[in-house]
Structure 1
Amino acid sequence: MIRDLISQNAVSSRLPRSSRFAAFAGAVLAVLPMLASASALDQFKSFVASTKSARGEFVQRQVKQEGGAGARVSTPASGSFSFARPGKFIWTYQKPYEQVLQADGDKLFIYDKDLNQVTVRSLGNALGSSPAAILFGSNDLEKNFNLKEGGSKDGLEWLEATPKSKDTTFDRIGIGLKDGLPQAMELRDSFGQISLLSFSKFEKNPPLPADQFKFVIPKGADVFQQ
C-alpha cells in the first residue's frame, strides 16, 4: 500500500507485496502529554526528545487519484508495531494477510508468511530521508528533513516534513498530533498516491524484552540475502 517504509533502495521489490510495507511503517509515534493547543512542531520535538520506545496499533489506507473518476481508497490493512530508537522496530500486518517488516538495528528482515519467504538486507543508512527515519531513527531529524507547521485539520495539529534528499520516493510527510500524541500520518509520494496511517493504543516507553527485535528465521522459509 505504501511504496516503501524504508526507501526505494532499502526494501526488495522482489516480493510481490513488499509495497504493503510502509513506512513504515510506519507509521508510529509518541510524545510527552501536552496541551492540545501546542503547535505540532513543539509537540513533535518533545516526542523526539522523550520517546525511546513505543508500541501500539495502526490502520493503513492508500488513496489513489483516478483522473475524472475521483479518488479510490484501498481496502484497509491493520496490525501492530513496536520500536526502540534508533533503528529497531517491528511493523506487523495482521489483516488482510500476515507480513512482517523488522529491523534489529543492524539488519532489515522482510517476511511474507503466505510465501514463507524472508529477504534480509543491511540496514546501514537505509533509514535516511524516509518515513521510517521519523518513526524509528535517531533524534537528528532536521539533518534529513525540513520541518514546518502544517496547520489544523480534522481536529489535529499537523507537522509537515519534507526530505532534503532527492533520493526518496516521498515528496512530503504529514504528521497529525493531538494532546501531545500522534494520531495520524499522511505520506505523499512522487506518483501522486497518498498513504494514510492512523494510530491507536499508543504506549510510550513500555518495558520491552532485550531480545524483542531479534528476528528468528521461520522453519523452512526461503531466505534471500541482498
Structure 2
Amino acid sequence: MQKKIIASLAGKSNMFAKFKSGRLIVGLSLSMALLPSLAHASALEQFKSFVSSTQSAKGEFSQQLVKIDAGKAPKVTSTSSGVFIFARPGKFIWTYQKPYEQVLQADGDKLYIYDKDLNQVTTKSLGNALGSSPAAILFGSNDLEKNFVLKEGQAKDGMEWLEATPKAKDTTFDHIGIGLKDGVPQAMELRDSFGQVSLLTFKNFVKNPPLSTGQFQFVVPKGADVLNQ
C-alpha cells in the first residue's frame, strides 16, 4: 500500500503500483519586510507568496500512511523519510532513504523511478502526469488554480491550512491539505477515497538554493535494467 502512495506523488495511483513503492541586499530587505505580514497572513496569501517567490527549493521530508476506518482509531501503517529538491516546472528529485532506498526523478520531460534493491529503472514521459497530482503543488507550474479549487482551511498544529481540491475527477486524491507557516509549506495531508491519509512533513526547507548544471539529469546506474513505458 505504501508503494501506491509513494508513486502517486508523481501521478495517478496505478502509474507505479508495481514498484517499491528547489541582488542580495534587495532580496534580504524584501524578505525581512515580508516576514511580519506572512506570520499573520491567511493560508491562501502565504501559499500565493510562496508560489510566486519560489522557483526552486530543497529540504527533508517524513511520511506516514494512516488508515482510517469508520468507528476505529486512525492507524499508522507505514513510515518513510528522505530528501527532495525541485525546480519549476516539472523538475525534481524525490529520494526515499528509509526504510528502503528509491528515487523518483524528473527532468521536465521524463520521469525516472529507480529501485535500488532491484537495480531497475523505469522511465515514462512526464507529459501531463503532474496535472492535478499532489506533486503539482510543489513541482508544477505556478498556474495551480487551473487544476485545483483552493480555499482556506482551519488553523491547526500552529499552521494555517489551505485546502486544494482537484478539478479533475480521475485523480488519486479527493482532498489535499497544505499547512503553511511563515510563508513556507510545513506539511501536506493527502486523502483518498479509500479512507487512507498520507501525511507529509517538511523540515530544513530552503527556497531558491543554487543549482548545478545538469542537476536533474538522470544517469542510469551501472548494470541497471531499464524499462520504458
Q: Is the shorter-chain TM-score for this pair beyond 0.5, marking a shared fold?
A: yes
* Aligned 8 A contact 1:57 1:80 in 2: yes
Separation in 1 of the partners of 2:71 and 2:41? 39
**CA displacement 1:132-182 (0-9 Å, x = unmatched):** 111100000000000000020111100000000001010000000011111
| Partner residue, 1:164 | 167
| Partner residue, 1:78 | 81
- Over 3 Å counting, the alpha-carbon distance change for 1:9 and 1:94 in structure 2 is closer
**CA displacement 1:108-155 (0-9 Å, x = unmatched):** 000110111111000011111010111100000000000000020111
Q: CA RMSD, aligned part only?
A: 1.6
Separation in 2 of the partners of 1:185 and 1:82? 16
| Partner residue, 1:144 | 147
**CA displacement 1:2-60 (0-9 Å, x = unmatched):** 26112226733222x23xxxxxxxxxxxx974532110000000111110000000010
User: Which SS does the other structure have where 1:42 is aligned?
Assistant: helix
Q: How far off is 1:65 after superposition? A: 1.9
Separation in 2 of the partners of 1:186 and 1:13? 20
Q: How far off is 1:85 after superposition? A: 0.2
Separation in 2 of the partners of 1:75 and 1:172? 20
Q: Which amino acid aligns with 2:9?
A: L
Match of 2:109 among 106, 109, 122: 106
1:178 maps onto 2:181 in alignment: yes
The size of the alignment, in residue pairs, is 213
* Aligned 8 A contact 2:12 2:129 in 1: no
Separation in 2 of the partners of 1:50 and 1:11? 31
1:14 maps onto 2:18 in alignment: yes
| Partner residue, 1:27 | none
1:92 maps onto 2:95 in alignment: yes
* Structure with higher helix content: 2
Instruction: Note the residue ranges of structure 1 that are not aligned, 5 or more in a row.
Output: 19-30
User: Which SS does the other structure have where 1:152 is aligned?
Assistant: coil
Instruction: Note the residue ranges of structure 2 that are not aligned, 5 or more in a row.
Output: 22-30
* Aligned 8 A contact 1:10 1:126 in 2: no
| Partner residue, 2:8 | 4
User: Which SS does the other structure have where 1:102 is aligned?
Assistant: strand
Q: Which amino acid aligns with 1:95?
A: K
| Partner residue, 1:201 | 204
| Partner residue, 1:124 | 127
1:213 maps onto 2:193 in alignment: no
| Partner residue, 1:23 | none
Separation in 2 of the partners of 1:181 and 1:12? 29
Separation in 2 of the partners of 1:11 and 1:141? 22
User: Which SS does the other structure have where 1:74 is aligned?
Assistant: strand
Q: How far off is 1:68 after superposition? A: 4.5
- Over 3 Å counting, the alpha-carbon distance change for 1:70 and 1:179 in structure 2 is same
* Aligned 8 A contact 2:12 2:133 in 1: no
Structure showing greater Rg: 2
Q: How far off is 1:76 after superposition? A: 2.1
